[in-house]
Amino acid sequence: MSSFRIGVIGAGIIGAAVARELTRAFPTAQIVVLDKSFGPAEHQTGHNSGVVHAGLYYEPGSLKARLCRRGVELIKSFAHEKNVAYEECGKILVATSAAEEERLLEIFRKAKANGVPGVELLRGNEITRVEPNARGTLALHSPETAIIDYPGITKALLDDVQAAGGKLIFGAEVQSISSPGVEVEVTTQEATYTFDYLVACAGLQSDRIARLAGGEEYPKIVPFFGQYMQLAPKYEGITNGLVYPVPDPAYPFLGVHLTKRVDGAMLVGPNAFLSFGRENYSGFSVGIKDTLDVALTPGFWSFASHNLGAAFREIKGLASPQRFVDGAAELVPSVRGAAARTLPRGVRAQAMDKDGSLVDDFVIEHVGRTTLLRNAPSPGATSSLAIAEYIVKEIQRSTTFTTPPVHKDLS
């Protein structure tokens, strides 16, 4: 196979996984990773709770469900190979009312259809057998849900890229993408790079990079921040694993839960609220461009009008961190009144369609010799190596670099 040049935009976990998979599929290719930050995993990858999701919630047969299950297998094996922290601590979803029990049974059905191993329903003493401090009327137990060091995985992936001859270029913010003839040109503030093929895994900037490459206007990214509180050290070990509420279908996110980290810390969170800036991790600034983007997105106002109740609930949690922590006491009463400190925010790159609906499944778009990852919400990190495998197989089918068909929903 003749040598060719492939560029990857983004050095988060998915971009790193794609770059590594490209070195394996095209060993003679020149692989270059571009990222505007000055190191890997500085955005979504480095600001999440570190959960490896088992695939409980996702619509059976969807791309998200399929790649999550494959992703668990791949990331678990890779973590063990590279000696990166990985712990199968397990997870329970706890129902506290008859309505929640009905929703939990539907999640159990989906989990079984998705092939999640070991899932079971627990009642009464069966719940406290798994999580002695949890309380509820019915619970779903997923024993193979895990926690991991995602920045460590990203670094290990990029180490493999470099070992295979790939190049990492940081501080390289993409300003334009063009396709003269049969090549793709990517211009940063410092240089112009010419590739035979380009893959963009730009996370919080994915819609903007897509537009530079000639992609569709929608879906657009609307950023939502999630903030965790870290409980005082004496609460470490208060759960054996992860304790989640049953998601409310009227609420677009999973709700406040207790999450154990690989370093032993116990977290409560996250809240979920509109972020005034795509990379506003401190919460003390306002990204004017990002905020105007949201304000000028008509679909956002439709979304907001349908979620006023959820927004009010989140505002109360923001106004009172102790109230926020005490919300988790509905599942684990012994955390009520726990001392906690606020951690830096994470910002979720939530894709939104023109009508204001949140895009649930992974979205991949092809434009000429460019592949654009437009939406990879949770379980995007869990699925990262499987997403990479999926994208690279598509590129392998196009090694003559004829234009692949444009499609968004690959479910």
The residue segments making up the domain with residue 340 are 222-352
Higher-pLDDT residue of 181, 393: 393
CATH number at residue 285: 3.30.9
Does residue 113 sit within a domain?
Answer: no
**How many whole angstroms separate alpha carbon 267 and alpha carbon 100?**
23
CATH number at residue 44: 3.50.50.60
Euclidean distance between CA atoms 31 and 23, whole angstroms: 7
**φ and ψ at residue 276, rounded to 5 degrees:** -85, 65
Indicate the residue among 352, 375, 394 that finishes a domain.
352
Domain identity same for 290 and 323: yes
Confidence of residue 269 (pLDDT cuts 50, 70, 90): confident
**Measured distance CA(121)–CA(112) in Å, rounded:** 11
Least confident of 19-28, 46-55, 243-252, 341-350: 243-252
Cβ–Cβ contacts within 10 Å for residue 396, how many? 12
Token digits for 199? 């893959």
Examine residue 277 and state whether it is found in any structural domain, yes or no. yes
The answer on 255 and 175 residing in a single domain is no
**Residue 105 maps to a domain:** no
Both 52 and 200 in a single domain? yes
Number of domains forming the structure of the chain:
2
Least Cα distance to 346 among 404, 406, 393, 277 occurs for 277
Alpha-carbon span 309 to 315, nearest angstrom: 10
Strands of 220-226's sheet in order across: 273-274, 220-226, 346-352
Domain co-membership, 205 together with 242: no
Residues 375 and 276 in one domain: no
Q: Is residue 102 part of a domain?
A: no
407 and 295 part of one domain:
no
> Are 239 and 202 in a shared domain?
no
Residues 31 and 49 in one domain: yes
Q: What is the DSSP string of 398-409?
A: TTT-PPPPP-SB
Buried b (16+ CB within 10 A) or exposed e, 111-142: beebebeebebbeeeebeebbebbbbebbbbb
> What are 100-144's pLDDT values in tens digits?
999 999 999 999 999 999 999 999 899 999 999 999 999 999 999
Is residue 391 domain-resident? yes
Whole-number percent of the chain with pLDDT over 90:
80
Minimum mean pLDDT range among 74-88, 185-199, 367-381, 392-406: 392-406
Structural element, H or E, at residue 147:
strand 146-148
